[in-house]
Amino acid sequence: MSEPRPLHRLFGLFWMDFFQGTTVSVETELDLSLKAESDDPTMPDKLKEFVRETIDQLLIELPPEKRLEGLCAEEVVRALPPETREAVARLLKANGPAAKPQ
């Protein structure tokens, strides 16, 4: 995206015209996200690291019920380590068949 968007260009031209003849200097600007990326070439890496840290923090802060929300029983069981699955199987066997859901 090397050209400014039309609305941004018009806005920039308006301000250039408004301040013409004064000591204020106005330049039209390219897309600021492109400018920021060119100013700091490590920006994509920083963004990826921020996302990873945010996800890790959310997983720590969310209660287990929220983390499991939307998962079917099979997905939950697949995520459990083998020893936990064995412990759940023993509990289910000891407690007999579960009541039918209402």
The answer to the question of residue 26 being in a domain is yes
The answer to the question of residue 13 being in a domain is yes
Model confidence at 82, in pLDDT bands (50, 70, 90)? very high
The answer to the question of residue 82 being in a domain is yes
The answer to the question of residue 4 being in a domain is yes
The answer to the question of residue 43 being in a domain is no
Q: The domain containing residue 76 runs over which residues?
A: 69-95
| Count of structural domains, the chain | 2
Spatial CA neighbour of 33 closest among 8, 55, 70, 13: 8
The answer to the question of residue 3 being in a domain is yes
Tens digit of each residue's pLDDT (9 = 90 or more) over 7-64: 667 777 777 888 888 888 776 665 565 666 566 677 778 888 899 999 999 888 989 8
Whether the predicted pLDDT of 100 surpasses 80: no
Whether the predicted pLDDT of 2 surpasses 60: no
The answer to the question of residue 56 being in a domain is no
How many angstroms separate the CA atoms of 39 and 83, rounded?
51
Q: Which contacts (CB < 8 Å, 24+ apart) does range 52-61 have?
A: none
Spatial CA neighbour of 68 closest among 96, 77, 95: 77
The answer to the question of residue 54 being in a domain is no
Q: Determine contact, residues 64/84, Cβ cutoff 8 Å.
A: no
